[in-house]
Structure 1
Amino acid sequence: MDEAVRGLSASTTRYQLWTEFLQTKRVESMAEIGVYRGRFAAEVLSACDSIRTYYMVDPWRHLDDWNKPSNTDDSRFATYLAETEANTEFAADKRVILRGTTLEVIDQIPDASLDFAYVDGDHTLRGISIDLINVWPKVRTGGWIGGDDFAHTMWQHGDRFEPTLVFPFAVYFAEAVGARIFALPHQQFLICKEPGFEFVDLTDSYPDTTLQGQFRLKRVLRGWLTDTIGILRSERRRTPPAKSATHSDQA
């Protein structure tokens, strides 16, 4: 196994996980599908000096057929786009902003031109299918596709919203194209565009890739607890400790 991939198991946040991987691989051209407010892009562009081209794919608009918590109104999405532009202004010569859904803009990225693509857009079955199938030809042989929300349960956002099916669909996709896929900490996955299917679970927390397993009550509860605890720990690591009260603080 690639030592750079094995080493990802020790990462404390998803930002550290991906910036260390991209630094090690000296990635020059990449795409992010689902940019939101640009925080991930800013972290990556700041940490990885090898990057020459960074495609940002996001509709930044309300989508009538997307039933997920992040689907807000157009005015707020316009604010998020402005925030993304501000967050990444320091790398304006490297970024390529493609405002639209994957199907609307993906053809603006040349085939086999990407070293890496990060998929963090529509996590429904429809969305992850569209994103993985359409970004695959854009990645060169020997390149990688990473992604977020490789959740242990499809009920990531409760039953009021469309299920999250990045897992297990990404595993099925990797098998269909004959590629190795890794389950990583922080609900991340990595597909290597090289021949030979294998699902390597570096977290030891994905024992069952069947949909039937997703619907078992015990699995649903265990997955929800695993993801919730992981999110809380991640948030705790990102929150600075509270300062002790001083006379100046109380003034």
Structure 2
Amino acid sequence: MTLPPEAPTLPARLLHGASVLPNREAILPLLPKGCEFAEVGVGTGGFSRLVLSVCAPRLFVAIDEFRLHELDTLWGQPTQTLFGGGTHAQSYRSGFADRIGSGRMRVLEGDSADCLEQLEDRSLDVIYVDADHRYEFVRRDLAVAGRKVRDDGWIIVNDYIMVAELGATIPYGVVNATHEFMIEHDWGMQYLALQTRMFCDVVLRPSHLLPDLASLQHEVALLRASTSWRVTRPLRAAVGLLRSRR
């Protein structure tokens, strides 16, 4: 297996104030409610449903090639069974028929970057990128996403990892393309959402919207000078002592 080249090192300013979350589900409550949300690569719709439930977007755009029915099996299950004998697109549309019928959901079928190009510039609040993970495709998706998201928007990149599995013949280009996009367009990382096999998500925002490091340091200094910090100092010391003896 050939690993991709090393990803460019991110400047520290693009990581100021970044927080770690336990999983990608923890991202959703932090996003704006009633937003316009595009999921690029929807799979069988499980994450789509979660986004709809938590974020309640006024418009949800589902983008996919919808070709999973061409596989014999998916996640250990025959695709004929998984999709009820129909196609991937038919199954997905059927599951969201009410929302599609009301105009609150659009389903775009085809190449991810081409489908994103159909949307107006600066029309989306959140874009979740989870399509083809090869470098050239992630780079294209992010380039288009950067134009389609609003100036105060969010781009979330799935599977922030170098390879799918040990022995894989095709390396991922997600990390490299993401770092290049961040450096080129001055977007910073606000959250790193973990995953149990380290198929993490990164949440990106324009760098001027990231928490200001100086402000964070000032808030910490005020907290440490506060009565509550002094009162809890013995308890924190005791906890530290216990940890040191484990």
TM-score bracket for this pair, using the shorter chain length: 0.5 to 0.7
Could you tell me which residue of structure 2 aligns to residue 237 of structure 1?
none
Are residues 1:101 and 2:114 paired?
Answer: no
Tell me the SS of whatever aligns to 1:9: strand
Q: Structure 1's 181 and 95: CA in aligned 2 closer, same or farther, altered over 3 A?
A: same
Pick aligned residue for 2:89 from 78, 81, 93: 81
Are residues 1:53 and 2:63 paired?
Answer: no
Q: Structure 1's 46 and 196: CA in aligned 2 closer, same or farther, altered over 3 A?
A: closer
Comparing 165-174 and 117-126, the one that deviates more: 165-174
Q: Residue type of the partner of 2:201?
A: Q
Contact in 2 for aligned 1:45/1:91 (Cα 8 Å):
no
Contact in 2 for aligned 1:180/1:197 (Cα 8 Å):
yes
How far 1:147 moved relative to its partner?
Answer: 1.5
How far 1:169 moved relative to its partner?
Answer: 2.3
Could you tell me which residue of structure 2 aligns to residue 216 of structure 1?
none
Could you tell me which residue of structure 1 aligns to residue 189 of structure 2?
181
Contact in 2 for aligned 1:116/1:144 (Cα 8 Å):
yes
How far 1:183 moved relative to its partner?
Answer: 5.1
| Structure-to-structure mapping, 1:208-223, within 5 angstroms | none
State the Cα RMSD in Å: 3.3
Contact in 2 for aligned 1:57/1:99 (Cα 8 Å):
yes
1:127, 1:96 → 2: CA distance? Answer: 22
2:190, 2:176 → 1: CA distance? Answer: 12
Could you tell me which residue of structure 2 aligns to residue 20 of structure 1?
29
Could you tell me which residue of structure 1 aligns to residue 126 of structure 2?
116
Contact in 2 for aligned 1:175/1:197 (Cα 8 Å):
no
1:116, 1:196 → 2: CA distance? Answer: 14
Q: Structure 1's 21 and 183: CA in aligned 2 closer, same or farther, altered over 3 A?
A: closer
Contact in 1 for aligned 2:21/2:191 (Cα 8 Å):
no
Gaps of 5+ in 1: 63-68, 201-251
Gaps of 5+ in 2: 1-12, 69-73, 195-199, 214-246
Contact in 2 for aligned 1:179/1:196 (Cα 8 Å):
no
How far 1:89 moved relative to its partner?
Answer: 3.4
Q: Structure 1's 10 and 138: CA in aligned 2 closer, same or farther, altered over 3 A?
A: closer
1:167, 1:129 → 2: CA distance? Answer: 10
Give aligned-pair identity as a percent: 24
C-alpha distance after superposition, 1:163-220 (max 9, x if no partner): 112113212210111111245122010110344899x9xxxxxxxxxxxxxxxxxxxx
1:107, 1:128 → 2: CA distance? Answer: 14
Are residues 1:40 and 2:47 paired?
Answer: yes
Contact in 1 for aligned 2:112/2:131 (Cα 8 Å):
no
Pick aligned residue for 1:31 from 27, 35, 38: 38
Are residues 1:192 and 2:205 paired?
Answer: yes
Tell me the TM-score normalized by structure 2.
0.63
